[in-house]
Structure 1
């Protein structure tokens, strides 16, 4: 085939398949520009947390994790294994022993 026919066939195929003609074979970045944008998908993947809004409406609201932690702390305190009251920890009692 002659070079003009090849060039014409190349242009027709670009029109059919929606490619950008690049007869010089230089990097143009068209491949990247044709891709779908990712920003919107990423924004939908990580939704905005609703907890701050719920806490404003219902002040006593706790998540499942927070409730479990509170219950565990209560049981530990009843057994005497919980954290000491503020100001009565290891450092505070260290100097008083002498």
Structure 2
């Protein structure tokens, strides 16, 4: 038995693409179809970040000072900054205007 002709194979590929909802591209031209088939990233990215009007713990604490609302993560962060500063790992102190006036730069 002989193999099917090239035109018959192309017809088969075309019918297969139609049945399985794929793009028929006999010349293998770059179409960008791979990118277009991918799931959209926009909704996932917008859902990842908090909505701009959504209140945070800081906002709740400012609007209701009589409630004892604690932000445990912020307390831990402040504690870690204090520990680092005690060990000498913190940020250096900022210069003030008095420091600039009192200590002029040395000339070499």
TM-based fold match above 0.5: yes
**Unaligned stretches of 5+ in structure 2?**
83-98, 100-108
Q: So what's the TM-score if we normalise by structure 1?
A: 0.55
- State the SS of the aligned residue for 2:36: helix
How many residues are paired up?
Answer: 75
Structure with the largest fraction of helix: 1
Distance (Å, rounded) in 1 between the aligned partners of 2:10 and 2:34: 20
**Structure-1 separation of matches of 2:74 and 2:35:** 45
- Aligned CA RMSD, in angstroms, stands at 3.2
The equivalent of 1:33 in structure 2 is 36
Aligned counterpart, 1:24: 27
Per the alignment, do residues 59 and 24 of structure 1 end up closer, same or farther by CA in structure 2, a change over 3 Å counting? farther
Aligned to 1:64: 72
Change (3 A) 1:50 1:3: same
Q: 1:54 aligns with which of 33, 37, 60?
A: 60
